[in-house]
Every structure is written in structure tokens, then in C-alpha cells.
Amino acid sequence: MKPFTRTIYPAFLLVGFALASASSLQRCEFPMIINFGDSTSDTGGLSATFFYVPLPYGETYFHRPAGRFSDGRVLLDFMAEGLGLPYLSAYLDSLGTNFSHGVNFATAGSTIRPQNLPFATTGLSPFSLDIQLSQFAQFKSRSQLVAEQGGVFKDLMPKQKYFSRALYTIDIGGNDIGLGFTQNLTDVEIKAIIHDGLGILASSIKTLYDGGARFFWVHNPPPIGCIPSMLVSMPPAADQMDSVGCSIPMNKMVEYFNGELNKTLVQLRKELPLAVLTYVDIYSAKYELISHAAKYAEGRSTIRPQNQSFTISGLNPFSLDIQLTQFMQFKSRSQLVAKQGFKYPLKACCGYGGGKYNFNGSIRCAFPTMVNGTLITVKSCKDPSTRINFDGYHFTEAANKWLFDHIHTGRYSKNHGKDHKGKSKKELRAETPHLKE
């Protein structure tokens, strides 16, 4: 199956978080990221609300549970790093949060359309996009009231002027499509859901725009037909699988969604003259990685963190000669790992059952489960940095890093932004106040 076809508009692309025209390249200095989404960008919302997400989630980078559904950082974390901003705190997390440079409303299991279905049985979050927008409205007004108290309160809240200069990221929709398949809906019924959802998405962007938002970074849904959990729960017939092993019907439906999403953004461009709407083709980027996993090694995490220091404080057996030996091992092993590429693109790293997908929906990663009278806890594979899928649903940190490295260049983006060509610097500053002179 070929990925969704992209048409790149080179005249005015948001590339590498920079606004570019044919004659100029002006760095964007977004002071804040405001994110709406689902588990692919959740940085602790669901964990703070419903249940603790234990190790091995978070083990690779944070070395502790961090509320993320990955072994380490998610794509949003790398985006924040790319802009020189701190990682985003979840709006729903009340402990140790800092909203001075961003806020995250995403929760795992979220959908665009409101779902009147219980979380306990469906895994769908009650925090659909409309609820996330309501939370944002409260945050925008209440954060300023908190900041007015001064002191530490002021330091933990964003400045009022940041809201119009922020990058608004939207990463949601995959669960809406997946739900249609799990409920055995027809193609016609799923497409009706898609159009309803895109109407809500468009309305949400308009609401944000009316409140002063101008810069939008919109991700399309990934190829859900390549997700182990979907392939196990609804295994496709042999003639319904592509050469990679992904479900053709599922991915075709995602491609339909993505085509309609692009049309929606084109229309919004006409209605919102000052908006810069960047469509990010996550689908094609992820499909590229999954379908050519073995050849990609750049951007991979290594066995140990990069720029690792072997200095260990205190009295212990790790004297300087031992530390040098460790460094030599690290130097050689890290390069061996970097040359391996990714393995088993459709197989969960932290899963149960072995086989092609190593996934069992009843025996999940990290959560203790009784199996034949024995309580077991599924652990991570030996080296998540060589794997794409972590838990049967979500990408590993290494795959997320690869994804960021490839989308931030603009290769997988198309921009439906205001044409600033021919405008003076003064006019540009009036329309886009966050641009550097």
C-alpha cells in the first residue's frame, strides 16, 4: 500500500519550525506550545486522572514512570526540545506542574467526537476534543488570575501575550477511526463519523482562531492497520494485507480521513485569513518507517543516553580506569546498535504471547495480570531502541525520535498559511508578532 500522497507547497512552508518564503527564512520563536490530542501526545493526563502508568513506561529516558505511553519521550517532547522549550505538563496533573511555556490537554483514548461509552470497558477517554477546548478556555482565563498572585504563581503560568504567539498542535482522530472498526461499522458509517469529526475539528480551530490563535500544527492519524493491537483483534484475510503485513481496509480508511482533513484545512485557510495551518503527514512518515524499518538507523536512541558521563560521585569501586573501560565499551557498542536499524516493525516490544505481533489484549504491558493462577507483569524487550512499537499501540522513544527528525524538516508537511510574500517587516510584525526582525 502506498502512503497518502503529499503535495508540497514550497512558496511558504512551515519547515523546521520556521516560516519560510521564497526570499526569506525567519525563525519562529514560539514561546509556548498548546497541545490537544490522544495517547500519542499524552504527557501525563490520563495517568493523573484514572490510573498510574508504571514502568517499563518511561524507563529509557526518564528512568521512572512519566505518564507517557512509551518507553521514553513521545513526539511532542521532541517538538518541545526542537523549540527550546520545557516538556509540557498535563493540564490534568496537579503535582509539580509548570505551565509557563505550554500546556497539554491530550489524554490517552481521546477522540474528536464525544463518546458516551464507559472508559473501563472501551478504553476511550471522556476528554474528547470539545472537552479539551473547554479546559483550554478555563486555563486561559484562570492562569492569568493565578499569575496575578505574584511570586512562584507568576513563574508557573504563561504570560497573556504568549497565547497569540503560541504554536497550537492538534494530534487526534485515530481513535475515532479505530472505534468504527471495533464496532463493526460499514465503510459508509465510518465515513459519516469521519465527516462529523472533521466538522468538529474545523469548529475547534475556528474557536481557537477567534480567541487569538494563529499558528496551527495539525497531525493526521497514523496507519492504524499497522498497529499490532488492531491486527490481533481484527486480523485481516491474506488478500487484505499489504506487502508489509498491514491491513489494507483499515489504512485505506485512514487515507480517506487524511484526504478529507487536508481539504478541511484548505477551506479553513480561506475562512481564516491570518492563520498558518500546517498539515503534517504523520501517516506517510510512520508508514515509511514501518515499511523500511531495517534501513533506518539515524536518529535512533542508543543503549545508553547520548553524551553520557561516567563520573560517579562518592567512594565506590568505579575508579577512573574502570570508567575508561566502560567508556570504550559504550563507544563500540553504541555504534553497533546504531548500525542495526529497527527490527520487527509489527511486533510489540513490551507484549505477551510471542509470535508475529507479541500482543495479547488481556495481558498488557506493565500491568500485573493473573495468568493460569500466577500473577505476571509483562516487561519490556531487551533493547527498545531497536524496535518501533513499544506496547502494541504506541511507538518507542527511538521511533518517535526518528519521526521527529523526519517531519521537522518539512518533508511531510504542507502549509495552508497566509501568504506574506511582498509584505514589509512592519506589516509582518503586525500580523505575526512572534517573528524576529
Q: Which residues have a catalytic role annotated?
A: 39, 391, 394
Phi, psi of 218 (to 5 degrees): -110, 120
Q: CA-CA distances (angstroms) from residue 336 to 96, 126, 304, 332?
A: 38, 44, 12, 6
Following DSSP, what letter does each residue of 362-384 receive, concatenated? TS-BTS-EEETTEEE-B---S-G
Cα 38 to Cα 76: distance, rounded to the nearest angstrom: 11
- Cα three-residue angle 237-223-265, rounded to 5 degrees: 135
Cell triple for residue 123?
478504553
| H/E element, 38 | none
- Pair 417, 423: CB distance under 8 Å: no
Rounded-to-10 torsion of CA 145, 148, 153, 159: 80
Cell of residue 161, nine digits: 501575550
What are 25's strand-pairing partners? 20
The three cell numbers locating residue 172: 487526534
Backbone angle region of 96, left / alpha / beta, with phi > 0 → left and psi within -120 to 50 → alpha? left
The alpha carbon of 345 is separated from its chain's Cα centroid by a whole number of angstroms, namely 18
| Residue 132 near residue 108 (C-beta atoms within 8 A) | no
Q: What is the Cα 66 distance to its own chain's centre?
A: 15
Q: Is the peptide bond before 56 cis (omega within 30 degrees of 0)?
A: yes
Region of 423 (left: φ > 0; alpha: ψ -120 to 50; beta: rest) is beta
C-alpha cell at 203: 469548529
